[in-house]
Amino acid sequence: MSGASGMGEEKTILITGANGLVGHRACEYLRKITPWKIIGTSRREGAHVDLIANLTDISDVDRIRTTIHPDIIIHTAAISRTDVCEQEQKLCYDTNVTATANLCKVFPEAKFIFFSTYAVYDTPEGRCDEECETRASNYYIQTKLDAEEHVQKMAEYVIVRPSVIFGYVEHLQDSKNYFMQLLANIRMKKVMQSPKDQYFNPIHVDIIVESLKRIIEREVCGTFNVGSNESISKFEFNRQILEKFGFDSEYLEGIDSKHLTVKRPAIGTISSAKIQRELLYEIPPLEKMIDTLYLTSSEEVKRYLADSR
Ligand SMILES: NC(=O)c1ccc[n+]([C@@H]2O[C@H](COP(=O)([O-])OP(=O)(O)OC[C@H]3O[C@@H](n4cnc5c(N)ncnc54)[C@H](OP(=O)(O)O)[C@@H]3O)[C@@H](O)[C@H]2O)c1
């Protein structure tokens, strides 16, 4: 790892998936607190979208290059829903692998920060560090591993393997990210089935984007897990969120993961010691991250739920 670079240093950063949970928040946050030139791209217009491009089409990626020469690419765009990836494998491959390969090919000199997933590990013990063996238990994970191979050929790269990311973004109300899905079920008064035997390390989106800022400042390279330091079952995590927001716990039913259609590692827990060591940064306790979720979204959440009545 090299030392921290000056914040004042001029950098151009291309962020893909600028309408998504991470991309949107990364654009918003880095624009606000750094002097870096942030360019957001997505397939559709949005508050942080400067360039509209379909990254699966290399001519669109070439067109981006005629406009900007980024020092750094933060590549978050993906089909991140495992069920969609099972059903539409070509779309999933094109979006998760071909688009990544296109960016690597067109911008070989850029530092490439790629969003993979914690689910690449599949060991019975869990608490995987970055040296743990990887294995794809579903097609989405396979595409992430394939994309990582392209990224690993870049001169400078960071592969981020995050656990489940939670956060509220107003325009993503219809999306299937973890928290929005929970809210959508509550709005429809639908009981959410949640495995009691699947453990993970959920992390708030603001901690992800703070980590990105530090990754850039400290000029680190390599592969990094990032998730909460506590391991928690999906059922218990959902229960804590319901409690924090004062929602009825009847919306939640604990189940055994053998009833789920898309397979995931049962013990999907990771160790995020490496990133915290290299960034000199301690990921806050999960309770604090749930507090942040509540403080930053409770008013919008109330409006969202009230709208449907
Ligand atoms: N959220 C999680 O819990 C989690 C956990 C582990 C890993 N990850 C990974 O982290 C990254 C960010 O996740 P996220 O939750 O922010 O994802 P997200 O909300 O689903 O956003 C992904 C964005 O990619 C864009 N996109 C899709 N296909 C595209 C294409 N062909 N060309 C250009 N843009 C395209 C979509 O925007 P448009 O439709 O506007 O183009 C979408 O907003 C993803 O790579 C995901 O796989 C996420």
Residue 174: the pLDDT is 65
The residues lining ligand 1, judged by C-beta closer than 6 Å to any ligand atom, are 16-17, 19-23, 42-44, 54-56, 76-78, 80, 95, 99, 115, 117, 162, 164-165, 175, 177-178
- Residue of 25, 58, 165, 237 to test ligand 1 pocket, by largest number of atoms within 8 Å of CB: 165
Task: Report how far ligand 1's centroid is from the alpha carbon of 255 (Å).
Answer: 28
- pLDDT on residue 193: 87
141 CA distance to ligand 1 middle (Å): 14
Residues paired with residue 134 on neighbouring β-strands, in sequence order: 121
Cα 40 from Cα 16, distance rounded (Å): 6
Q: Which CATH number, 3.40.50.970, 3.90.550.10, 1.20.1560.10, 3.40.50.720, labels domain 12-172+203-228+269-284?
A: 3.40.50.720
Could you give the CA distance from residue 103 to residue 153 in angstroms, rounded to a whole number? 12
Chain mean pLDDT for the chain: 92
Q: What is the mean pLDDT of residues 30-43?
A: 97
Instruction: Write out pLDDT tens, residues 92-110.
Output: 999 999 999 999 999 999 9
pLDDT digits (tens, 9 = 90+) for 178-197: 898 888 888 888 888 889 98
How far is ligand 1, taken at its centre, from the CA of residue 220, in Å?
Answer: 23
Q: What pLDDT score was predicted for residue 178?
A: 87
Domain boundaries, the chain: 12-172+203-228+269-284
| Residue 45 pLDDT class (50, 70, 90 cuts) | very high
Number of helical H runs and strand E runs in the chain: 11, 13
**pLDDT over threshold 80, residue 249:** yes
